[in-house]
Amino acid sequence: MLKPISRLFVLAVLVSALAGCGTLFGRASGSYFGPDYYSGTAYNFGLLFGSDDLNRGYFPATLWCWASIACPVLTVYSMPVDFVVDTVMLPRDLYEAER
């Protein structure tokens, strides 16, 4: 009985650790990635596609991401979580943009 519960707990910890990485990088102090709003989601798109509007100078990271196999999968997996966190943080972003 304890073994399935511990496996589920370990899986939940790993999933939550891997999700939301774009929001962490997009909101890092002293950095600017993408627009004022939804910066974590913009970071994910910039990392995957290397677009110049969203990709503020980290194109080598895009090449490295596509060279590895896990990075695109984890980035796509992280996008819905980043979108939800960015939506929750939208009032703060609006306040910061008005300052």
The mean per-residue pLDDT over the stretch 40-44 comes to: 81
How large is the average pLDDT for residues 13-36? 65
SS3 string of the chain?
A: CHHHHHHHHHHHHHHHHHCCHHHHHHCCCCCCCCCCCCHHHHHHHHHHHCCCCCCCCCHHHHHHHHHCCHHHHHHHHHHHHHHHHHHHCHHHHHHHHHC
The per-residue pLDDT for 6 is 83
Give the tens place of pLDDT for each residue, 25-41: 666 655 555 567 888 88
Residue type present at position 14? L
94 CB contacts (<8 Å, ≥6 apart)? 37
Condensed to tens digits (0 to 9), the pLDDT of residues 55-92 reads: 555 567 777 888 888 888 888 888 888 888 888 888 88
Question: Would the pTM of this model clear 0.95, i.e. be above it?
Answer: no
Query: Which is more confidently placed, 49 or 21?
Result: 49
